[in-house]
Amino acid sequence: MKLPATTALALILSAGLAQASDFPSGNVTIIVPYSPGGSTDLVSRQLAVDLQEIWGVSVIVENRPGAGSMVGTTALSQAAPDGHTLLVNTAAASTAPAIQSLPFDAETDVTPIKLIGQSAYVMVAGSGVESDTMSEFLEEAAASPKFFATAGVGSSSHFAAELFLQQAGVDGDIIHFSGGGDANTNLMGGHADIYVSNTASVIPYVRNEQVKALGVLGPDRDGLLPDLESSGELGIEGININAWLGMFGPGGMDPDLVARIDADVSTAMQSEGFQALLENNFIVGGESSPEEFAAQYIEEMQLWRDLAEQRGIEAD
């Protein structure tokens, strides 16, 4: 959607004044592109509490769910790049643009600011799977094709599953559910078999022994989950991805402002509450610079675009 000329002009005028030195000059809104209550929402709300103390202004979490996080991201792309509108998203930020036609350019109309945390992609299995490890599962899946649950079409769990199917060379059907909770529930009931997602959305159910963790995606085992086999050690190559959580701003933000917010978020993440949240969800705090994060974002987006093309995934 194109902005009306007057609005665009107003945005440009106000954007000209956005400098790192006078930030924040008012309340800050963090858009969460998901319904309240999910893991992204909880992390953002904790972050908002800590940032509020640092900045001394109200930091408001605004949920804008829909279209696999792209409704909220579209709203972000249309906001003024003055740092007062931010967004927290998962790797869905890089997967959803691979299949959706969006009213903005995912490469230039958002500014990656901060990698908040990373975790492994964990493969969990439900009651319909007999295997207890990924190596056993590969044999089981070769004998009878399995159903791979996702948290929604275009979500990171969708693309992680597709990447696994492609690189491991196994057959399987993809079923889209509405969110991670729904996917896990269907695993428990045996309606779907496998769900590949970030730690935060599977670990609670693994802990309760409602689903079993088979392994992690990646060349090596995960430091926090050393008991789980990695896809790499089983000879599956070409899977070198991590699930992540990152903060974004609208496109065209002043680099000084980005650096300033990056530094403040890093400070906020040191709080006791935030550290506990990361630890509880097996997430490692992100250390990379805004430039490194931006590079990672662009690179992953290309990876998913190529995968979508190779496997014929398209929104039609």
Residue 90 interacts with other proteins (CB under 8 A): yes or no: no
Q: Are strands 146-150 and 172-176 parallel, antiparallel or unpaired?
A: parallel
Choose the binding region for other proteins from 81-89, 170-178, 239-247, 282-290 (rule: CB under 8 A): 170-178
Binding mask 198-227 for other proteins (x = CB under 8 A): ------xx-xx-x-----------------
Residue 119 interacts with other proteins (CB under 8 A): yes or no: no
Residue 305 interacts with other proteins (CB under 8 A): yes or no: no
Choose the binding region for other proteins from 41-49, 211-219, 240-248, 259-267 (rule: CB under 8 A): 41-49
Residue 111 interacts with other proteins (CB under 8 A): yes or no: no
Choose the binding region for other proteins from 15-23, 44-52, 79-87, 256-264 (rule: CB under 8 A): 44-52
Residue 251 interacts with other proteins (CB under 8 A): yes or no: no
Residue 41 interacts with other proteins (CB under 8 A): yes or no: yes
Per CB under 8 A, the list member of 15, 20, 42, 263 interacting with other proteins is 42
Residue 65 interacts with other proteins (CB under 8 A): yes or no: yes
Binding mask 138-167 for other proteins (x = CB under 8 A): ---------x----xxx-------------
Contacting positions for other proteins (CB under 8 A): 1, 6, 10, 35-38, 41-42, 45-46, 48-49, 60-61, 63-68, 70-71, 74-75, 99-101, 103, 147, 152-154, 173-178, 181-182, 184-186, 188-192, 204-205, 207-208, 210, 273, 276-277, 280, 315-316
